[in-house]
Structure formats: structure tokens, C-alpha cells
Amino acid sequence: MDPSNQTPPSPPVAHPPPQAAPPPPPPQQQQPQRQPQRPPPDQGSGFLIVLLSFVAIALFILIPSSSSFKNSFSILHQVPEGHVGVYWRGGALLKTITDPGFHLKMPFVTHYEPVQVTLQTDQVRDIPCGTKGGVMINFEKIEVVNRLRKDYVYETLLNYGVQYDNTWIYDKIHHEINQFCSSHSLQQVYIDVFDQIDEKMKDALQGDCTRYAPGIEIISVRVTKPAIPESIRRNFEQMEEERTKVLIAIEKQKVAEKEADTMKKMAISEAEKNANVSKIVMEQKLMEKDSARRQQEIENQMYLAREKSLADADFYRLLKEAEANKLKLTPQFLELKFIEAIAGNTKIFFGDKVPNMVLDQRLLGNFLQNVSKEVSRVASRDGISDT
């Protein structure tokens, strides 16, 4: 019960007993409880109504944008960054597309949904499939990076709704993975062509999206290794171990061959180096011998020229001496020489006769003439032989 509507206690109760004074008349006792002196009974309820109205408006405004209640019944709504606002009125999609920010709409009539137009990653999990050989495998997770183009938002949502990615990504991935597995063996799916699954899924998704939903752009597809039965997995591990051993043996053989080839090249290089050194030394010795030979030839030519010059000089000297002697062989010169030769004789002859040789002047003259002729004849003969 509201305390403002209760009647206050009567003041006469606190007065002295009636013996001191007569009690007041009844109308006077009820005078403090007159109706105009009390507050109006509807003042508190009006304030409560106003308060509840403000609370209701605040709730309509402050409810998060992701709330479906806010999307349907709020007046002011917010479109987050990287999204666009899409609106339905009476269940019909409107062509109005709003950018990020605050916007107004009619409550209870217009419904709003934010649609992401930036890059997003959809994770498709637990995709079972059977290989061509009948082995069941499971892809735990496949990630699809995609984007809805802003220009195609209305067309895409009109044809496939807000959950368009369920049709063209989640369901499509299941279909394409099963198609791929059914046409390949376990060896191919798990090892041989596993590196091609990403591109094949991307091409398959993008091909259908380009044909039926051109606004959806597939950026990339990431496929994780599928889970296979444990017994088969152990067999693959053993096969991989054996393959690894073979590869190691091949690599060791290549290393040994490389080392042998290196040693061979080193030996050939060393032999070529020694051969080149020997050739250089031989050429050096030959050059030294040739230089010595040329030097000896030059020395011989110099000696020959010197000796020839000396011989020519002696011959010329003797020739000139012969010519000079020829000019000297006159009777007078020979007589002088004869006299000088005799004068130099210290012998003295004693006796009755002096030798005729000394005294006979005619004999001396004849002797000198004969000697002169003989010398001339010899000189002329020598001259003829020289020429």
C-alpha cells in the first residue's frame, strides 16, 4: 500500500482528559485530515510512467546490433565497419543498402541485418568421403577464404538469402570433396595429389559461383590432411620410412660419387699442373740453350771477323813491305847494303894476296846485278800468284 494515501493520526488523542476542557465538536476534530492538504494521489504514478518510458527508449537504443530483437524493433541501429546494412519490409528484401555507421528505420515494420563484405574465412569441419578403393576417410577441417562483393549484395541475398555461404561454400565443399575422393585412390588422395586439392577445390567453387552467384569471390582454400584408418596409416608410415631409407641410400651414393669425381678432378688437375710445370721448365731450358747457342754464334762471328781483320791487316802489311822492298832493290841500295855488310866484318886478312872478291869491283857489280834480277823475278812471281 502507498504510504502517501494513509490517514495521519488524530491530534486530540495527545490532549489532556476531557475533565479539563470540553471536547471539540466532531467536525473540528476531522479538520487536519481535509482532502486538499494531502498530495495528489496520481503524482507518484505519473513519475513512474515517465521513468518507464525513458527506460524503454534506452533499451530500444542500447540493445546490441546483433540482437534480432533490436534488428526488428529498434529505431536507431548501427552498421559495423566491413559490413553493409540490408533491410526487409514485410518479408520483402529492399534495394536499400547502407554503409557503416548509425542509421534510422521504422520499428516493427522494417527488419535489418548486417552483411559482411570484407574477407572472411569459413571453416567446414568433419567431411567424410570414400575413396575409389572403398576406404572411408575424413577431412577434419577445410578453410575457405571468400568475399561477397558489395555491388552484388542485393542480387545474392535476393536469390540465396543471408546464409548464402551455406549453399555455395559449406554444401559445395562437401559435394566437391566427395567427387574428388570417389575418383581417386587413397594413395593419390593422401600422398600423390594431395598438394593439388587446394587448387582443385578453389577452381570448382569459383567456377560455380561465377556461373550462378557472381558476387561471391573465392580467394583461397586450405585443406588439412585427412584422417585415415589407423592400420592404413601405419602402413603409410612404414612405406614412408622405407622410402626415406632409399632416399638416404641414394643420397649417400650421390655423395660418394661426388667425392670420387672430386678426387678424380683433383688428380687430373694436379697432373695437368705438373705437366704444365714440366713444359714450362723444358721451354725455359730450351730458351736458355738457344740463347747460349746464339751467344756462341755471335762470339764465333766476332772472333772470325777479328781474325779475318788481323789476317787482312798482316797480308796488307806484307804486301806493302814487299812493294817497298821491291822499290828498294836498286844497284845503289844493294851496293850500300853490301858495303855495310862488309864493313861490319871485323876480320883482317894478312898475306901477299888480298881476296879478289874484295878488290875486284867488276865482280862485285856483276854479283849485285844478278842478285837484283833474281829479286825482281821472285817479286814479280809473287805478285802474279797473289792476283
Distance in angstroms (rounded) separating the CA atoms of residues 148 and 156: 9
pLDDT at 320: 86
Contacts of 146 (CB under 8 A, 6+ apart): 119, 120, 121, 122, 165, 169, 216, 217, 218, 219
Distance in angstroms (rounded) separating the CA atoms of residues 173 and 169: 6
Q: Say if CB 138 and CB 130 are below 8 A apart.
A: no
Contacts of 64 (CB under 8 A, 6+ apart): 70
Contacts 24+ apart (CB under 8 A), 37-43: 38/4, 39/4, 41/2, 41/4, 41/5
pLDDT at 29: 44
> Strands 101-104, 136-148: parallel, antiparallel or unpaired by DSSP?
unpaired
pLDDT at 374: 74
pLDDT at 368: 63
pLDDT at 14: 41
pLDDT at 356: 53
pTM given for the model: 0.48
pLDDT at 107: 84
pLDDT at 181: 93
pLDDT at 325: 77
pLDDT at 218: 95
Per-residue pLDDT of the chain (387 residues; tens, 9 = 90+): 333 334 444 444 444 444 444 445 444 444 444 444 444 544 556 677 777 666 656 555 555 444 455 566 678 889 999 999 999 998 899 999 999 999 998 888 899 899 999 999 999 999 999 999 888 999 999 999 999 999 999 999 999 999 999 999 999 999 999 999 999 998 899 888 999 999 999 999 999 999 999 999 999 999 999 998 888 888 878 888 888 889 999 999 999 999 999 999 999 999 999 999 999 999 999 999 999 999 999 999 999 999 999 999 999 988 888 888 777 777 777 777 777 777 666 565 555 655 555 444 555 566 666 767 777 776 677 665 555
pLDDT at 98: 93
